[in-house]
Amino acid sequence: MEPLARADDRAFNWQEFNLEREPEPTQLDDITIRLELVMLALVALTGAGSESLVEVAEQLNLNSVIADRLTHPENSQQQKPLSVDEARALVLIICYLAKENQALIRRAIALLEQYTTTNEDLRQVGLLRDYFDAFSQMYQEQIDGSVSPSSDPLNPLAIKLLIELLFYSNSNSPQRFWLALLSPNPENNP
């Protein structure tokens, strides 16, 4: 993906990606949480670290918008909600990484479908087991703040987010993802 054009040094041209629609100020808390969960799922599946996220932000010319959030992820829970521009930047980064890892996401979904259809234990599959374990550990460390011996209660959330990643790996995904974040009932998304 080529670097994105800037309207000027201070403002990003969100219109280029149909991300210009503004959320209500009261939505930013929910949008922040949702983006953190989707990013958590993406990182759990791909193993992308903060260095990879910063690299993608640089490739997309979004570093000045989101750099602080990406370089200090351990502080994200103590920070205020994302700004609108930070949220938009994360949408673009997530969609870029999802598209780059589309084959892996599709493979995980195919295994999920195969083992769900036959009612076999999903944890028999190394890719899914590793994803569930990584997601659970990262969720407990970054979101929940606790450590639980079992990851099974988080598996339905991890599966839902994995399916969302598939939708966000397509060419029109930034606009689709942004509109999903702005919808009044996020449970009905993607």
Q: What burial class does residue 52 get, using C-beta atoms within 10 Å of its C-beta: 0-12 exposed, 13-18 middle, 19+ buried?
A: middle
The CA-based angle 160-121-116, given to 5 degrees, is: 50
41/183 Cα distance (integer angstroms): 21
Residue among 49, 62, 68 at smallest CA distance from 17: 62
Q: Domain spans of the chain?
A: 33-179
How many other CB atoms are found less than 10 A from the CB of residue 99? Answer: 16
pLDDT by residue (tens digit) across 89-120?
A: 999 999 999 999 999 999 999 999 998 888 88
pLDDT by residue (tens digit) across 56-96?
A: 999 999 988 887 777 765 545 446 789 999 999 999 999 99
Query: pTM for this structure?
Result: 0.84
Q: Say how many Å lie between the first and final Cα of the chain, rounded.
A: 24
User: 12 - beta bridge partners?
Assistant: 6
pLDDT by residue (tens digit) across 131-183?
A: 999 999 999 888 766 555 555 688 899 999 999 999 999 888 899 999 999 98
